[in-house]
Amino acid sequence: MDLTPSDEQRLLRESADRFVAETFTADHRKTAANDPLGFSPAIWKRFAELGWLALPISEADGGLGGGAIEVGILMEAFGRGLVSEPFLSTVVIGAALVAECGTEAQKQAILPKVAEGALYLAFAHSERAARFDLAHVEATATRTADGWRLNGSKIAVLDGAAANQIIVSAEIANANGASGKLGLFVVAAGTPGLSLRDYARLGGGRGCSLDLKDVQLPADALLGDGSDALPAIEAVVDRAMAALGAEAVGIMQTLLDTTLEYTRMRKQFGRPLSANQVIRHRLADMAMQVDEARSMALRAALMADAAPLQRSRAASGAKAKIGKCARFVAEQSVQLHGAMGVTEELDIGAYFKRLLAFDTLFGGSAYHYRRHATLSGRMQD
């Protein structure tokens, strides 16, 4: 039992914190907000040079073989700077799906390119009717003479417009219709039949919805051998939630630090706001919730490779709890900044919105407490 970071992990934290603090300034964020990509390819190159894009990819696939803890360290730093580069979409989710499901040839074709920063990936899975149920997929994939035909609609595709390749989930149809098995298909940007509606994402970055109308794909577009991809999707999304939890901790810590500073400085009734007990106790509660969130993100990361039931309970527990803490910390940060907190003139609002987006992604607190209760045998599915 040892929760002290290794020397490598400490160094990673230091370099990530430093890079983020120097690069992701408030001015940078304003520029990025108007960027059609939603991020800077030049910075992405730097990520590659720093080895961050290769970090969680296995050594066999051209990566550095890091795990969920290392990803969490990076994500927490990214949260502090509200980084909008598509690290989650490309590395944490996209590359992980390829690593989990892909054939040797597919891994070799995709993963080294991700590691060197030459390929952006996105994951198109959510559908309107599914809400947050990962097993609910209505998009279909039908075998054709020389490959596959995809039909369906996806929403909340993170960084889809920037992606060179989008990994699309669809139910594999067999002779009798639905097979009940999910497949993951690699769809290159610009494939005929694929249409995208790109939008600015709440809290920074881009998202899109996606329609697939008779999209024709080669046979090797299917990742792996056609066995059900749902377990892999669940594993990758559980780990993505752990990573997002770490990012949320970085955001919350920044909000707490900023709010502390503000309440010390701002004077009303002839004394700093922080001299008032009602304010001090609110700040104490915020600090406590940031700390609980930190514990839960760490826990989810430490259990990222546990048996599926344990892993999913930890991930849902973390998502639910961190979501609840995030809402409290975000709302109180705005509250304690007074009217200024409700304007675009301070950074508070940007951090607030990123936390709101975090709470929604892959399901909010209510959904994940329910998933936790179901996985714990307390509730029926």
Q: For another protein, which is the closer residue by CB, 30 or 280?
A: 280
Between residue 343 and residue 372, which ones bind another protein under the rule CB under 8 A? Answer: 369-370, 372
The secondary structure of residue 204, as a DSSP letter, is S
**Shortest distance in whole angstroms from residue 142 CB to another protein:** 39
Q: Is residue 63 helix, strand or coil?
A: coil
CB of 371 to another protein, least distance (A): 9
Structure tokens at 296: 């839960």
User: Which residues, 6+ apart, have CB-to-CB distance to 19 below 8 Å?
Assistant: 46, 50, 77
Of the residues 149, 321, 327, 354, which one makes contact with another protein according to CB under 8 A:
321
Six token digits for residue 154: 């996806």
Judged by CB under 8 A, the residue of 6, 23, 195, 268 near another protein is 6
Q: What is the DSSP annotation of 314-350?
A: HHHHHHHHHHHHHHHHHHHHHHHTGGGGGSTTSTHHH
Q: Of the two residues 303 and 355, which places its CB atom closer to another protein in the complex? A: 303
Distance (Å, rounded) from C-alpha 95 to C-alpha 114? Answer: 7
Closest approach of Cβ 71 to another protein, in Å? 13
> Which among 78, 93, 94 has a CA at the least distance from the CA of 43?
78
**Cβ at position 80, least distance to another protein in Å:** 18
Give the CA dihedral 188, 194, 197, 198, nearest 10 degrees.
0
Residue 329 lies near another protein (rule: CB under 8 A): no
Binding of residue 242 to another protein (CB under 8 A): no
378 binds another protein (CB under 8 A): yes
β 121-124/165-174 pair status: parallel
CB of 356 to another protein, least distance (A): 21
Shortest Cβ 301–another protein spacing (Å): 8
Among 18, 136, 213, 264, binds another protein (CB under 8 A): 264
Q: Alpha-carbon distance 248 to 231, whole Å?
A: 25
Rounded Cα distance, 270 and 248, in Å? 35
User: Which residues inside 60-99 make contact with another protein, applying CB under 8 A?
Assistant: 69
**21 is a contact residue toward another protein (CB under 8 A):** no
Q: Of the ranges 21-29, 206-214, 278-286, 344-352, which one interacts with another protein (CB under 8 A)? A: 278-286
- Tokens for 237, please give them: 């999304």
Crossing angle of helices 7-23 and 41-49, in 10° steps, is: 160
Q: How far apart are CA 357 and CA 160, in angstroms?
A: 16
Select the residue interacting with another protein from 317, 341, 349, 364 (CB under 8 A).
Answer: 317
Enumerate binding residues for another protein (CB under 8 A).
1-6, 9, 69, 260, 263-264, 274, 277, 280-281, 283-285, 287-288, 291-292, 295-296, 298-299, 302-303, 314, 317, 320-321, 369-370, 372-373, 376, 378-379
